């Protein structure tokens, strides 16, 4: 979800007539004193854990906080961090025990109250936290956060949270959800110190957490200096002295600064430089799968797309898109053609299944044309693909997708891109069900679970079901999966649900997005986690 909000270089990135010649590269000599100088984007919301729903703010929270669980940067598995154990006998009541000895960087111990108070704050309607819905599985959420517009909270705390001792609390859910413990690595579930409540403004100016770094200075809109917290007792302390985050409004400027030796790490190689990056950086360029999938969604509420034959039409469109060619020519292999609705970072055990959508997601222009004709042709004779013009560089791939469809249909005006000025306008049109045609959709996972790729987007009435897809069989299989007691059984049931999507094609899977990063010769051991965020604490500085 957060993918869409990433601040990318907009319209006009890139330049440099002179040099296909690689810039000298390895000559970055300036001593950075053991500190990583990294690019950053201005967080869009105040840095509260439950109010941060985009990558740039999340990046900082992940350095400054540790939650009950942490996702393994390599395998994406949810591993206990502050939690000693999370157990349940019925997939609905969970008993959470904390490891002793964790403290916030101001010395305050991390206790059961640190979590309970935080979660109560996060869920409460009055605090208007954008991530509040993550607490909706917890019993009593409907009291502290009624759904209807204009309603008032009838309780101030979540009744499903019960403190047992300083190191133990229980969570009662309002439905069975076997994968619940694995969601607890998400930043919305981080604990909060007392200082957060007692002096909120001061905390916001300089957040205090329990992670391997502490914030030494923060200038909004400009940058943040994080230093290694020497008191950190967790298993993953920082191996460098700190991280200087510098706000760039254009990723291409950050890239140029990296070339000039003024920056050590960019975690978003601009689209305009993808053709040059190997020449510029050699093996200091990372291109790894991340938990992001891009799709084309349809307004299934619109009569154009709700007819009986419309599924066939959508399958035909899917088969008209030459994914391998577009990922190669437009994205320079920083995307991988998608053949299911999840992401490779889940791994086979986590539910990723290559080829789950096989024929229907493969390029076959002749069959595509046939299917579309059988379905009565494109509605109204032509379609548009809407995208927001202000963030991301969507124009190029939308044009390429349209050209692919046009070539398959032999009509150069069958499909055209339809930019919408602002993300706000784009989202309003989707939320208010005003879309009449295909539109771009992107999903960046909140946590590495197959549930997170399917339920929020395709379950009837779910929060990100932008297509307004509704299929009783899909819903039934998802409910079944959530009630399964073993994760393996849950994954199998989810995959069964996913097969329903192949038939209905509520959204066309396009490609899995990789994370990309480039770094200077000062650094080593740079990796990206499954969220496409650099694993800062493991970066070594020469």
Partner 1 sequence: MGRYVIRRLLQMIPVFIGSTFLIFFMVYALGDPVAALFGDRAPDPATAAQIRRDLHLNDSLGEQYLIYMRNIFTGDFGTAFNGQAVTSLMGSAFPVTIRLTLVAVVFEVVIGIALGVVTGLRRGRPVDTGVLLLTLVVISVPTFVTGYVLQYIFGVRLRWTAPSVSPSAPVGELLLPGLVLALVSLAYVTRLTRTSIAENTRADYVRTAVAKGLPQRRVIVRHLLRNSLIPVVTFIGTDIGALMGGAIVTERIFNIHGVGFQLYQGILRNNAPTVVGFVTILVLVFLIANLLVDLLYAVLDPRIRYA
Partner 2 sequence: MPDAQDPLEPVDPHQAVAPAGGYGGGFDLAAADAQILEGPAGRAQDGGPLAKPRSLWSDAWHDLRRNPIFIVSALIILFLLFIVIWPQAITTQDPLKANLAMSQAGPSAGHPFGFDNQGRDVYTRVVYGARASVSVGLCATIGVVLAGSALGALAGYFGGWWDAVLSRISDIFFGIPVILGGLVFLSVVTNSTIWPVVGFMVLLGWPQVARIARGSVITARQNDYVLAARALGAGDSRLLLRHIAPNAVAPVIVVGTIALGTYIALEATLSYLGVGLRPPTVSWGIDISDASNQIRNAPHMLLWPAGALSLTVLAFIMLGDAVRDALDPKLR
Closest separation in Å from C-beta 369 to partner 2: 17
Strand partners, 78: 71
> Given the complex with partner 1, which of 285 and 423 has the nearer CB atom?
423
Closest separation in Å from C-beta 104 to partner 1: 22
Binder of residue 239, out of partner 1, partner 2, none (CB less than 5 to 8 A by kind): none
The strand pair at 69-71 and 78-80 is best described as antiparallel
Closest separation in Å from C-beta 49 to partner 1: 15
Binding mask 248-267 for partner 1 (x = CB under 8 A): xxx-xxx-xx-xx-x-----
Residue with tokens 């039934």: 476
Element containing residue 72 per DSSP (H, E): none
DSSP 160: T
Does residue number 32 form part of the binding site for partner 1 (CB under 8 A)?
Answer: no
Using CB under 8 A as the binding rule, the residues of this chain from 143 to 172 that contact partner 1 are 145-151
Structure token digits, residue 100: 């002793």
Choose one: 61-69, 180-188, 242-250, 308-316; the region binding partner 1 (CB under 8 A): 242-250
Binder of residue 191, out of partner 2, partner 1, none (CB less than 5 to 8 A by kind): none
Using CB under 8 A as the binding rule, the residues of this chain from 376 to 435 that contact partner 1 are 390, 422-425, 427-428, 430-431
State how far the Cα of 116 lies from the Cα of 138, in Å rounded to an integer.
12
What are the start-end ranges of the H helices in 343-471?
Answer: 347-350, 365-374, 394-409, 423-431, 450-458
Q: In this structure, which long-range contacts are made by residues 426-434, counting pairs with CB atoms below 8 Å and at least 24 apart in sequence?
A: 426/386, 426/387, 426/388, 429/386, 430/466, 433/299, 433/301, 433/468
Binder of residue 260, out of partner 2, partner 1, none (CB less than 5 to 8 A by kind): partner 1
> Given the complex with partner 2, which of 342 and 438 has the nearer CB atom?
438
State how far the Cα of 425 lies from the Cα of 33, in Å rounded to an integer.
45
Contacts with partner 2 by CB under 8 A lie at 11-17, 19-20, 271-273, 275-276, 322, 325-326, 329-330, 384, 389-390, 393, 395-396, 399-400, 403-404, 406-407, 412-413, 416-422, 425
> Count H helices, E strands: the chain?
18, 19
Q: At what angle do helices 487-504 and 450-458 cross, to 10 degrees?
A: 40
Strand partners, 223: 219, 246
Binder of residue 400, out of partner 2, partner 1, none (CB less than 5 to 8 A by kind): partner 2
Structure token digits, residue 73: 């940067």
Binding mask 464-503 for partner 1 (x = CB under 8 A): xxx-------------------------------------
Among residues 56, 533, 35, which one has the least CA distance to residue 264? 35
Structure token digits, residue 266: 């960019």
Binding mask 306-345 for partner 1 (x = CB under 8 A): ----------------------------------------
State how far the Cα of 477 lies from the Cα of 497, in Å rounded to an integer.
5
Binder of residue 404, out of partner 2, partner 1, none (CB less than 5 to 8 A by kind): partner 2
Closest separation in Å from C-beta 207 to partner 1: 13
Determine which residue in the list 67, 160, 211, 223 makes contact with partner 1, applying CB under 8 A. 223
- 121, 162, 328, 424 from 2: Cα distances, Å: 22, 31, 24, 14
* 266 and 260 Cβ atoms separated by less than 8 Å: no
Using CB under 8 A as the binding rule, the residues of this chain from 431 to 460 that contact partner 1 are 431, 441-443, 456
> Given the complex with partner 2, which of 116 and 378 has the nearer CB atom?
378
> Given the complex with partner 1, which of 2 and 59 has the nearer CB atom?
2
């Amino acid at each position: 979800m957060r993918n869409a909000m990433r601040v990318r270089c907009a319209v006009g990135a890139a330049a440099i007539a002179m040099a296909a010649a690689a810039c000298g590269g390895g000559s970055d000599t300036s001593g950075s004193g053991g500190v990583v100088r990294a690019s950053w984007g201005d967080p869009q919301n105040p840095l509260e854990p439950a109010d941060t729903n985009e990558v740039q703010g999340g990046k900082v929270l992940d350095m400054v906080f540790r939650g009950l669980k942490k996702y393994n940067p390599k395998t994406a598995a949810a591993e206990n961090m502050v939690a000693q154990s999370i157990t349940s006998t019925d997939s609905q009541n969970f008993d959470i025990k904390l490891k002793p000895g964790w403290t916030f960087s101001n010395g305050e111990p991390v206790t059961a109250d640190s979590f309970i108070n935080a979660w109560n704050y996060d869920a409460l309607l009055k605090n208007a936290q954008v991530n509040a819905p993550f607490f909706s599985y917890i019993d009593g959420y409907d009291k502290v956060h009624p759904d209807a517009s204009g309603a008032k909270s009838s309780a101030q705390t979540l009744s499903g949270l019960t403190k047992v001792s300083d190191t133990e609390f229980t969570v009662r859910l309002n439905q069975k959800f076997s994968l619940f413990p694995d969601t607890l690595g998400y930043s919305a579930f981080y604990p909060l110190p007392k200082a957060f409540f007692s002096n909120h403004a001061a905390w916001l100016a300089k957040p205090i957490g329990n992670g391997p770094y502490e914030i030494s200075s923060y200038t909004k809109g400009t940058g943040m200096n994080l230093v290694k917290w020497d008191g950190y007792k967790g298993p993953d302390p920082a191996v460098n002295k700190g991280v200087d985050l510098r706000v760039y409004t254009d990723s291409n400027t950050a890239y140029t600064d990296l070339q000039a030796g003024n920056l050590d790490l960019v975690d978003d190689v601009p689209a305009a430089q993808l053709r040059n990056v190997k020449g510029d950086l050699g093996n200091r360029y990372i291109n790894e799968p991340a938990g992001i999938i891009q799709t084309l969604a349809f307004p299934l509420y619109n009569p154009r797309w709700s007819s009986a034959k419309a599924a066939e039409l959508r399958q035909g469109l899917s088969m008209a898109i030459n994914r391998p060619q577009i990922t190669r020519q437009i994205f320079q292999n920083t995307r991988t053609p998608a053949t299911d609705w999840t992401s490779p970072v889940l791994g086979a055990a986590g539910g990723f299944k290559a080829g789950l959508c096989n024929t229907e997601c493969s390029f076959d222009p002749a069959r595509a044309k046939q299917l579309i004709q059988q379905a009565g042709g494109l509605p109204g004779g032509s379609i548009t693909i809407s995208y927001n013009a202000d963030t991301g560089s969507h124009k190029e791939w939308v044009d390429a997708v349209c050209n692919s469809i046009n070539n398959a249909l032999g009509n150069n005006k069958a499909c055209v891109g339809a930019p919408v000025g602002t993300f706000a306008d784009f989202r309003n049109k989707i939320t208010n069900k005003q879309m009449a045609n295909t539109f771009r959709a992107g999903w960046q996972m909140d946590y590495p679970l197959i549930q997170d790729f399917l339920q929020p987007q395709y379950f009837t009435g779910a929060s990100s079901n932008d297509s307004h897809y509704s299929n009783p069989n899909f819903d039934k299989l998802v409910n079944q999966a959530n009630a399964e007691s073993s994760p393996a059984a849950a994954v199998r049931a989810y995959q069964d649900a996913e097969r329903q999507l192949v038939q209905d094609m509520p959204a066309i899977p396009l490609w899995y997005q990789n994370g990309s990063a480039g770094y200077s010769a000062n650094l080593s051991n740079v990796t990206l986690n499954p969220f496409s965020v650099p694993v800062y604490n493991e970066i070594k500085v020469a």
